[in-house]
Chains A and B, each alone.
Chain A
Amino acid sequence: MALLAGFPALAGADLEVSAGEVVLLRGANGAGKSTVLRVCAGLAEVASGEAVVLGCDLRADRRAVRRRVGLLGHETFLYDDLSVADNVRFAVRAAAGDVNAVKPALARLGLDGRLARLDVGRLSAGQRRRVALAVLAARRPQLWLLDEPHAGLDAEARDLLEGLIAETVGSGATVVMASHEVDRAHALANRTLTVAGGVIYAGARPAAEPLHVA
């Protein structure tokens, strides 16, 4: 159970995900999808039950897991006054990642050259999402938590996103995605779960790798 200012956002959710999987969370607005992702990121507190992500017990210490997960949410956490390149570089260094991964990540998302030097504040919303994706690509977290990743992206960017997901899963990471884009997202996912009323339906599979939120 996860409380959001006293409101039970998650009311008894069971989830088990194995490494290398791509899980899609569907559900109406307000169902609790974002909260599931936030719990996995170690942001939201789990009031009761068990929560273990990437081997870290979230009830004991939520902070440890944060460096190893990447959350792409509705806010981008970018600094408007810094350039694209500076932003990505800062995020990578903060997460103690490899700074050499910044340039290739920017190139991958079509953000190199003139765009890299532009202040984030001048970019459109869609471009900002691309930068946020570049941050993920450069940081290379083991668990990708994507909240409505397709929203605001143009066709080219959507292809890039899917390519990135495929690539990162290929290198062993896990992806949990919440999306309304049923068709495109469904094609990417190994498994689809539905979130409604704070509970996750369409049950679990026994896990090989410990990554379960109960």
Chain B
Amino acid sequence: MWRDALLMAGKDLRVEARSRVAIGQVAPFAVIVLVLFAFALDPSRGILVKAAAGLFWVAVLFSALLTVQRSFAIEAADGARDGLRLSGLDPAGIFLGKALAVAAELFVLEIVLGAGVVVLYNAPIHGYLLLLATCVVATVGMASAGTIYGGLAVGLRVRETLLPLLTLPVLAPVLLAATEASQAALDGVPGQGVAWLRLLGVFAAIYLTFGVLAFGSLLEES
């Protein structure tokens, strides 16, 4: 399983390196979202700085949707399921590999977005350790849940509209917890954020397990 996962992740990341979609398209999209927030909320009244943590995570969430869509779009438009099944790879390995690749891409995006928030919203950064931990755990959770739903929707014609509908409600608590944890870090009270971090960890654990167990079943269709 692990060998297959690394093979799959390596392939996905190599495709990304060649096509540069995450860097070239999703990252600019995410930054544009940050800019749009600034248009929607009056920058002069300090709302942006106060809401910076939440806005950051909303932008990450939308980027995650795009990243997952892309992850499954590269598996050849039609016959994607067939391709994955015929490859001979262990489905659990396929899941882990894809989730790993998505998580890696998201992590890079978060660094870009973090810089964006600091620059565009003049948000000061404190509590680096908690912020980093939050990013890692939340990203793993988002990547796992997203990859499960991506696998569920792969090959369906209504994939583009179905994926957000299915994934966002499930990721809502991740948004909540990540925002609270980040806010605690920024406010200089990292102790409060640890409980949220634990919740994020539980979420990630649940969905990683689910993915490993259920992905094979999801791919199996005629």
Contacts and interface: CB of A to CB of B under 8 A. Distances in A.
**A and B touching (C-beta < 8 Å)?**
yes
A73 B79 contact: yes
B214 to A, nearest CB: 15
Contacts of B89: 94
A94 B76 CA distance: 16
A57 interface: no
Interface stretch (B10-18, B103-111, B139-147): B10-18
Contact of B222 (A44, A76, A82, A90): A44
A43 B15 contact: no
A86 B86 contact: no
* Majority-rule SS of A interface residues: loop
Contacts of B11: 79, 82, 90
Interface string A100-137: 00000000000000000001000000000000000000
B87 A91 contact: yes
B86 A3 contact: no
A75 B83 contact: yes
A24 B18 CA distance: 40
B84 to A, nearest CB: 9
B4 A82 contact: no
Nearest to B21: A81
Interface string A74-95: 1111111110001000110111
B74 A79 contact: yes
Given A5-B222, A75-B79, A81 B86 contact: no
* Majority-rule SS of B interface residues: helix
A81 B18 contact: yes
B78 interface: yes
B136 interface: no
Contacts, number: 62
Contacts of A71: 86
Contacts of A94: 4, 7, 87-89
A66 interface: yes
B7 A90 contact: yes
Nearest to A46: B222
A43 B87 contact: no
B95 to A, nearest CB: 14
Given A79-B11, A82-B18, A90-B11, A95 B87 contact: yes
Given A45-B222, A90-B7, A75 B78 contact: yes
Contacts of B7: 90, 93-94
B85 interface: yes
A44 B81 CA distance: 12
Contacts of B76: 75-79
Interface of A: 2-5, 41, 43-45, 62-63, 66-67, 71, 73-82, 86, 90-91, 93-96, 119
Interface of B: 4, 7, 11, 14-15, 18-19, 74, 76, 78-79, 82-83, 85-89, 216, 220, 222
Given A43-B222, A81-B15, A94-B4, 10 more contacts: A43-B82, A43-B85, A63-B85, A67-B88, A74-B79, A79-B11, A80-B74, A81-B18, A90-B11, A96-B88
